[in-house]
C-alpha cells in the first residue's frame, strides 16, 4: 500500500473519530500556497487545525514526531491563510495532531503546538 493510500485511510479514520467525539468537520485537505492541512474542524467554539500522521508500527518512532518545526510552520501559515480567506473573527484556534498506528491505536494530541 502506498503512502497516499495509507494517508487517505488514516484521514478517514481520524474524521470518524472526530465526529464520534462531537467535532464538526469544516474542511478536509485544505491547501494553499503555504501548504496543506489534513482536517479543519470545529470543537465547541474552537477552530481546530489537525495534522494526521499514520504509521504501520513504531519502528520509525511515533507518528507525531514527524510534525517537526518546519511542518508546524507550514501548518500555521496555511491556517492563517484559511482564517483570512474565510474572514473568521472571534474564534479560538488550536493545532492538534492525531497519530494513528494502523489497526491498533489512535492518539489525539490536543494543543500539540502553538503559534
The answer to whether residues 15 and 25 touch, using CB atoms and an 8 Å cutoff, is yes
The CATH code of domain 3-113 reads 3.40.1350.10
What is residue 5's predicted lDDT score, i.e. its pLDDT? 85
Provide the residue ranges of all domains of the chain, joining segments of one domain with +: 3-113
Mean pLDDT, all residues of the chain: 92
What is residue 7's predicted lDDT score, i.e. its pLDDT? 86
pTM: 0.93
CA dihedral 110, 38, 21, 114 (to 10 degrees): 20
Amino acid at each position: 500500500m502506498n503512502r497516499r493510500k495509507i494517508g487517505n485511510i488514516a484521514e478517514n479514520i481520524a474524521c470518524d473519530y472526530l465526529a464520534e467525539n462531537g467535532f464538526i468537520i469544516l474542511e478536509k485537505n485544505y491547501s494553499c500556497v503555504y501548504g496543506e492541512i489534513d482536517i479543519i474542524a470545529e470543537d465547541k467554539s474552537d477552530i481546530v487545525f489537525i495534522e494526521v500522521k499514520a504509521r504501520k508500527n513504531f519502528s520509525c518512532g511515533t507518528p507525531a514526531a514527524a510534525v517537526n518545526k518546519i511542518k508546524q510552520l507550514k501548518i500555521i501559515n496555511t491556517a492563517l491563510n484559511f482564517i483570512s480567506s474565510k474572514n473568521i473573527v472571534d474564534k479560538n484556534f488550536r493545532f492538534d495532531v492525531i497519530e494513528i498506528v494502523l489497526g491498533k491505536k489512535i492518539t489525539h494530541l490536543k494543543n500539540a503546538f502553538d503559534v
